[in-house]
Amino acid sequence: MNRAPRTCHHDTESLPPGGYYFATGTVEHGPRRARRITGWRRLVLEAIALLAVSGLIGFAAGVLQAKGWPL
């Protein structure tokens, strides 16, 4: 069985603390920032949520009234 010669040598003593020769930036990286919705976009999303909830309540009330429930 022939093996490839091992000619690659790395001086790990010369690396800075936490430094690696492989996967640069993937082993140690800074924290990721969460994307936040601000301003008018948040207002639009809240309005859509309010309309969806009120529509669902109205639909449920209509179904219950059609089945004979007094509302």
Residue pLDDT, tens place only, 2-38: 565 666 666 666 777 766 566 555 555 566 777 788 8
The number of beta carbons lying within 10 Å of the beta carbon of residue 20 is 13
7, part of any domain: no
5, part of any domain: no
Residue with tokens 């509302």: 71
Contact 40, 30 (CB under 8 A): no
pLDDT score of 23: 53
Q: How far is CA 69 from CA 53, 57, 61, 66, in A?
A: 21, 15, 9, 7
Phi, psi for residue 9 in degrees, rounded to 5: -125, 135
42, part of any domain: yes
43, part of any domain: yes
1, part of any domain: no
Range of the domain at 57: 12-66
Number of domains in the chain: 1
Global pTM reads 0.48
pLDDT at 1 over 90: no
